[in-house]
Chain A
Amino acid sequence: MNIYRQELRMLTPSAIYWSLGMLVCLLLFMLIYPPVAADVQGLEAVLANFPLEMRKALGLSSLNLARVLEFYAFVFLYILLIGAVFAMKSSLAVLSEEARSKTTDFLLSKPVSRFVIVTAKWGAVLTALLLQSILLILFSYMIVRIYGSFSSSLFLLITLSLIQMQLFFSALGLFLAALVRRMRSVLPLALGIVFGFFLVQIINQSVGERALGYITPFAYFDPATIVQHGAYNPTLVIINLSVSAVLVIAGYMAYHKKDFAAQ
């Protein structure tokens, strides 16, 4: 528990900044909702000039932006992006912290097993992510409510996709951090990987190649698709959970076998 508390303490400032970032992003987007809703025909006329592929890529082909929840779904894609980067970065950071700050000797010579260390560290990340989602559900509900009424269950479906996607990226971060011997900087790596997956989703949407949809969590939890079906795709939810589980198990194994050689 002591490692968990310590890691959570070290994570808290960045968790607060990133959560605020998400809320600010939502607020700024919501500010343009009233004019968009007022002149949705005008907007659609403009968008009609864009190639269909591009509209698909931006998730605009099926959403009716005049409806507040569908506008929220459109904005949520960007919140997902921020959340994914945060999840990945945090996971990479906590598990490579010892190698970067050279505190390996301190922590690993303590009477704890590596299993406990990984569990405590990753547990702290999951806790931060969970708190972030709770915060986001509360505040975004209040914010969106200002602009109109909507189905709460659909709102929850959209918003809860964040934590599921974060599970994937934090699992991937855990795995990579356990695998790599020394990681110099964490944020550029997290950004690169998350945007890589996002790019796959953009290509997936504009080309409509279904196979691509299976390899990126941005397709598993595409807000526009969730709005369209009013539900998650159960297969994709299970794929997400399974892939995350495999990554976590592989990460634990890699960390357990790792040699922490002198710095």
Chain B
Amino acid sequence: MDVIKTVKLTKCYGTARGIIDVSLSVQEGEIFGFIGPNGAGKSTTIRLLLGLIYPTSGEAAIFGEDCIKRGPQIRQNIGYLPSEVFYYDNMRVIDLLKYSASFYHNVDQQRIYRLAEIMDLDLHRKIDDLSYGNKKKVGIVQGLLHQPRLIILDEPTSGLDPLMQQNFFNLIREENRQGATVLFSSHILGEVQKLCSRVAIIKEGRIISIEDIHALHNKNYKRFKIDFHDQVDAGYFNIEGVADLSTAPGSAAFLFKGRLNQMIDKIHGLNLINLTVEEPSLEEIFMHYYERES
């Protein structure tokens, strides 16, 4: 079953671009990554799903029901962590969490305390006095306390220290094991890579690719660094599949996507001093192969 399904979802803010023809389907039980640079339209898509803004055209459905018409009912089963967290300043953490819990049916109050313990959150402090990272933790507990069937995370890790990020990822994985579907939006590929099974890549309002995260890795992107004695043309390595090429007399470095034999044949004739072939980071793959596609 599709937990999230959007068809040609479009949002324009006046003449400004929001998102254009976004079609996604997220299956039950998966952790779906949603990645793209800041301002690409990740938050706009999420806000449309939550009914915070209305689409200009297209459709969005969650649990098979229309996001606008059945918004309140759908949201009963959604947990949302916004990218920037702000809460009523004059409340204590526990007051806010109880207020949040009061919107949902049958919330297990003990769960608030359990989640707060995992995230190392002091429940009795005033929200006003909390650091950004601690407010983020409030956001996490607030988003998970009602055991939502769909968890929507918009840049969830900013402001969390690495240890807390780890706890948070474990928490999300645990919720996922219990059956929750997760939409994870981020501009950091590394964290999406850690958690997600599939990822949609959005750029300038359009989905440019939807990939299986393992396939993305297995596409054989390599980073080459070569030192040699020969004199070669600057264009010697500039063949199809090469990106981010930098050359100097006696050395070259580039990313390569394609048949390795083809590159090895090129290198074979050279008098090599040094050769390294590395796994590139997803950031590099993204930057050099997706940036160019639109």
| CB-CB under 8 A for A261 and B87, given A108-B50, A110-B103, A113-B72 | no
CB pair B88 A111 closer than 8 Å: no
State A113–B71 Cα separation when bound (angstroms). Answer: 7
Nearest A residue to B48 via CB reads A259
> Which residues of A102-132 have CB atoms within 8 Å of chain B's CB atoms?
102-106, 108-113, 116
The CB with the most chain A CB atoms within 10 A, among B89, B99, B142, is that of B99
CB of A263 closer than 8 Å to a CB of B: yes
| Interface 0/1 of A128-160, CB less than 8 Å to B | 000000000000000000000000000000000
A29 to B72, CA, bound (A): 51
Return the contact of A101 from the options B54, B83, B86, B103 (Cβ within 8 A).
B86
Pair A260/B53 contact, Cβ less than 8 Å: yes
Tally A residues with Cβ within 8 Å of B: 22
Q: Which of A145-179 contact B (CB under 8 A)?
A: none
Say whether B52 contacts A108, CB under 8 Å.
Answer: yes
Which residues 60-106 in B have Cβ within 8 Å of A in the complex? 71-76, 78, 80, 82-90, 99-100, 102-104
Kindly state whether residue A262 has any CB partner on chain B within 8 Å: yes
A10 interface hit (Cβ, 8 Å): yes
Residues 1-23 of A at the B interface (beta carbon under 8 Å): 2, 6, 10
On whether A262 and B86 interact (CB within 8 A), knowing A113-B71, A257-B54, the answer reads no
Q: Closest CB-CB distance, B120 to chain A, in whole Å? A: 22
Render A72-103 as a binary contact track against B, CB cut-off 8 A, 1 for contact: 00000000000000000000000000000111
- Return the contact of A6 from the options B71, B86, B99, B142 (Cβ within 8 A): B99
Question: Are B50 and A111 closer than 8 Å at their CB atoms?
Answer: no
14 contacts between A and B (CB under 8 A): A2-B103, A10-B88, A10-B90, A101-B89, A103-B86, A105-B82, A105-B85, A106-B87, A108-B51, A111-B74, A111-B104, A112-B72, A116-B72, A260-B53
